[in-house]
Amino acid sequence: MDGKARHHTLGGLLRGLRARHGWTLKEMSERTEIPVSTLSKVEHNRLTLTYDKLLQLSQRLNIRMSELFADPAETGETAVTARRSVGRMSEAVRVNTKNYDYYYLCPELRRKRMVPVFTRIRAKSVEEFGELVRHSGEEFIYVLEGAVQVNTEFYDPIVLHEGESIYIDSNMGHAYVAAEGCNEALVLAVCSSADEGLLESLYSLHGDNEAVRTTGPETRERAAKPPAKRATRGTR
């Protein structure tokens, strides 16, 4: 068996992972709470790990389980692509739904790992919003105007005011609504995921029946104004 073939065993991959971080067996044992003798046997291909132990390993090392099976040659530094995109509101893709107006920035970049979006929030309650949404990755929300009530699956609702922000796991059910006494709010959202289809996944959440995606002069004229201050009370 050649060196490359030997590497494609759990033992070889574990040994490579440890070497990349410069850890001794004892250090890895302390980090993972798996005995040194067990790790040694795995590295020498005399023992394998159960799913529970693999999950424990990935959680203790704060890495995805898929990385335990990745060839180091495939996980080296990412090549510099020199991608750049200036995010102008006049060039954003606008998506209207019953709860939000979205302005997707830098739309010409494909397969983005990070999606910046200006979002105007109109829904005023979870009941009005409907079912909580979920998608892969994580997201950061910064309140630009008004106040936002953040509703999540595992936490009590919290109200954020202008200049405040929140970072959440997007796989957790969530909904943003205008806080009590606020007619609508504007936030800057940044969604991020290892899934290169993140943007398509976000688009799919809008639903074909309620979303209207528009570009062109009329949209550009409207989209150029979202960050401007607007009344937070009164009739929409």
Question: How high is the pLDDT of residue 220?
Answer: 38
Q: Find the mean pLDDT for residues 141-161.
A: 96
Across the chain, what does the average pLDDT equal?
77
Q: How far apart (Å, rounded) are the C-alpha atoms in residues 162 and 23?
A: 45
Q: How confident is the model at residue 67 (pLDDT cuts 50, 70, 90)?
A: low
Domain 89-223, what architecture? Answer: Sandwich (2.60)
Q: How confident is the model at residue 147 (pLDDT cuts 50, 70, 90)?
A: very high
Q: Find the mean pLDDT for residues 116-127.
A: 94
Handedness of CA 137, 143, 149, 154 (dihedral sign): positive
Q: How confident is the model at residue 143 (pLDDT cuts 50, 70, 90)?
A: very high
Q: How confident is the model at residue 62 (pLDDT cuts 50, 70, 90)?
A: confident
Q: Which residue has the higher pLDDT, 109 or 128?
A: 128
Q: Distances from the Cα of 235 to the Cαs of 102, 118, 161, in angstroms? A: 21, 22, 20
Q: Which residue has the higher pLDDT, 168 or 17?
A: 168
Q: Which residue has the higher pLDDT, 75 or 17?
A: 17
Contact indicator for 67, 75 with CB cutoff of 8 Å: yes
Q: Specify the length of the chain in residues.
A: 236
CATH code that applies to domain 3-74: 1.10.260.40
Q: Spell out the domain ranges in the chain.
A: 3-74, 89-223
Least confident segment among 53-62, 175-184, 189-198: 189-198
Q: Give the model confidence (pLDDT) of 217-234 as tens digits.
A: 343 334 334 444 443 333
DSSP string spanning 139-194?
A: EEEEEEESEEEEEESSS--EEEETT-EEEEETTS-EEEEEPTT-S-EEEEEEEE-S
Q: Find the mean pLDDT for residues 195-223.
A: 51
Handedness of CA 123, 93, 164, 190 (dihedral sign): positive
Question: How high is the pLDDT of residue 117?
Answer: 92
Q: Find the mean pLDDT for residues 24-35.
A: 89
Q: Give kind and range of the element (H or E) at residue 203.
A: helix 198-206
Question: How high is the pLDDT of residue 187?
Answer: 97
Q: How far apart (Å, rounded) are the C-alpha atoms in residues 104 and 228?
A: 17
- Chain CA centroid to CA 134, Å: 10
Q: How far apart (Å, rounded) are the C-alpha atoms in residues 49 and 60?
A: 15
Question: How high is the pLDDT of residue 60?
Answer: 84
Q: What share of the chain is helix, strand, coil (3-state, %, to 5)?
A: 30, 25, 45
Cβ neighbours of residue 63 closer than 8 Å, sequence gap 6 or more: none
pTM over 0.85: no
**Candidate ranges 40-44, 70-74, 157-161, 228-232; pick with highest mean pLDDT:** 157-161
Q: Give kind and range of the element (H or E) at residue 32.
A: helix 25-32
Q: Which residue has the higher pLDDT, 70 or 180?
A: 180
Q: Give the model confidence (pLDDT) of 73-98 as tens digits.
A: 544 455 566 778 888 888 888 888 88
Q: How far apart (Å, rounded) are the C-alpha atoms in residues 128 and 132?
A: 11
